[in-house]
Amino acid sequence: MPRSRLKSIKDVHTKKPSLKDSFSAFRYIPRFFREIGKHHPKMFLLNLLARLVNAFSPVAILWTGKLIIDAIVLQIKTPETEPTLLWKYVALEFFIVLVSDLINRAITLTDGLLGDLYSNTSSIKIIRKTREIGIEELEDPDFYDKLERARTQTSSRVNLMSNVLTQLQSLVSIITLITGLIFFEPWLIGLLIISIIPSFINEIYFSSSSYSLARSWTTERRELDYLRYIGANDKTAREVKLFGLTDFIAGRFKKLSDQYYQLNKDIAVKRTWYTAIFNLLGTLTYYGAYILIIYRVITGILTLGELTFLSGSFNRLRNSLQAFFYRLTRIAESALYLKDYFDFIDLKPAPTTNKTFKIPTSIQEGFCFERVSFSYPGSTQKVLDNISFELRSGEKMAFVGENGAGKTTLIKLLLRFYEPTGGRILLDGTDIREFNREAYQKIFGVIFQDFFRYEFTLRENIAVGKIEDLDDLDKIAAAARLSLANEVVKEMESGYEQQLGKRFKKGIELSGGQWQKIALARAYMKDADVLILDEPTSALDAKAEYEVFERFMELTHGKTSIIISHRFSTVRMADRILVLQNGKVLESGNHEELMSNNSLYAELFSLQAAGYQ
């Protein structure tokens, strides 16, 4: 397993991002735009073009304003002349404002549409990538945080897009306005710089602090989300009410959220104060410039029209530059989230040693566990300790043992969700690591004890066992008959098309046993060589359990299978039973052999039998 990679992910996490990190994340922006441009080139080009045209509108409007004022002054001085030119200028300004407004609407529309499209494509990429990632990494909390940020920051990526584009547009506007100022009064540029630099530094300082805070609180915010979820949802409502957990959950939420609020508030209040002071400085410089321009108009150096143009340009520039710097820090912040996203998308799945070995078309000898040991990542506890046994082709084996003995873990290793930390597992003499993982996993039909209850239709819930056969109702019905799920179907108003779960309209919640019958049908969807059922009947009543097993035995005749169960009426039907204790094989044999051993199996069997008497 790629421990080194996990470690590097962890390092990135625990380190707070500096200003340098923020700006170095800018390098992801070209790739981001390449992706947007690649998927939706026409709309993207239209958006760019519209922004470029509109970048000239501020200077054009200010300039026509100047022309209008100068024409008015001229008209006052010489009232006998026809004011044709003046009205032409007014019409021109009206036209520019109208067109610019229309273009702005086109920009807003394409921004929204591009954002929606990009957020859809990136969500699909995240879903696909998650499939490639090993179970070990998905269970790693640091990795999970990374996935969480990649998943939840979709809106931040959409904002990033429009912020960067607006930034480019604003840059062109700023250059045109500065050109105008340089042409008339170059010294105004100096004043402009004085008014803008303090707010720029202020902006960078505070936005990097709030980003650091948000990022370093990822885990806590995940906990807050979790508390919000368990405190207010239909699945937990019964327990929460009955155990009177509301105050406990709300209290824990309050404590954590208050801390975050306080830290956030401190930064926000400080930021407001500093921003107010620096803005005041900016306003003072603006009025300084204004007075100077007025003085030059009075002394006849500038016209009244030029006064409106220059003061308008100066004010607009000051606002545009302030917004520019503000946006720049927003962009740096979102670019870091972009980094999280690309880091996640670029993760390479754990390499398998050799992918050239062909999976046997039919299993000949079977599986062999050779001195297999295992500890979960990040833990030193040996969950499996030097386990050796064989699962022969066509054999029906049962795993028995107390809670936590390691039964499910053994299955996870067999399925290659994890790799043994010691020893090896062979299939027909070949180390299972030599096979392509996906192809290897296809030989199994598995139902776990914590199978997932998809809030899809009943048909889809069975078909997830082999999703390619989603429309093969005959096959789905056959699987349902084997698992007794057909009885559930009969009770549903919409039959196989019944929506399950309470989340969506017309959904129906099933009982634990009904869900289990449906989950069991998934295992039958595949014509798998090896069937594995991890506590498949724990929620079934005695009659249903008996029937399920009768069918299972018929169906799996001659097939390799493993059953984990705490019910000995089920277990005793197996050809061989493996009794696990503290990660070790305590004994193995068929029911009769184990009973005569008079060890743990016999003890547990007698205890359960006594309970039924």
Ligand X SMILES: Nc1ncnc2c1ncn2[C@@H]1O[C@H](COP(=O)(O)OP(=O)(O)OP(=O)(O)O)[C@@H](O)[C@H]1O
Residues near ligand X (CB under 6 A): 139, 376, 379, 383, 401, 403-409
In this structure, are residues 340 and 150 in contact, taking their beta carbons and an 8 Å threshold? yes
CA 293 to chain centre: 55
DSSP 26: G
Contact 115, 165 (CB under 8 A): no
Torsion angle defined by CA atoms of residues 376, 377, 379 and 385, in that order, rounded to the nearest 10 degrees: 40
Shortest Cβ distance from residue 410 to ligand X (Å)? Answer: 7
* Residue 369 beta carbon to ligand X: minimum distance, rounded to whole angstroms: 14
Helices 218-231 and 246-298, packing angle to 10 deg: 130
Q: Which is nearer to ligand X, 111 or 535 (CB)?
A: 535
User: Among residues 521 and 579, whose Cβ is nearest to ligand X?
Assistant: 579
Nearest to 189 by CA among 200, 178, 197, 180: 178
The Cα–Cα gap between 596 and 583 comes to 23
In the complex, least distance from residue 609 CB atom to ligand X, rounded to whole angstroms: 19
What is the Cα–Cα distance from 152 to 145, expressed in whole angstroms?
Answer: 10
Shortest CB 138 distance to ligand X, Å: 10
Amino acid identity of 517?
K
Pairing of strands 396-401, 560-564: parallel
Q: CB-wise, 139 or 365, nearer to ligand X?
A: 139
Report residue 109 CA to chain centroid gap: 26
Q: Are the C-beta atoms of residues 585 and 406 closer than 8 Å to each other? A: no
Judged by beta carbon, residue 405 or residue 578, the one nearer ligand X is 405
Nearer to ligand X, 137 or 185 (CB): 137
- Minimum CB–partner distance for residue 580 and ligand X (Å): 7
Nearer to ligand X, 33 or 376 (CB): 376
C-beta of 132: minimal distance to ligand X in Å? 19
Which of 399, 496 has the CB closer to ligand X? 399
Q: Which is nearer to ligand X, 58 or 401 (CB)?
A: 401
- Report the C-alpha gap between 37 and 77 in whole angstroms: 55
CB of 245 to ligand X, least distance (A): 24
The H or E element containing residue 564 is strand 560-564
The first and second tokens of residue 284, run together, are 């003072």
Alpha helices (H) in 390-435, listed in sequence order = 407-414
In the complex, the smallest distance separating the C-beta of residue 531 from ligand X, rounded to whole angstroms, is 17
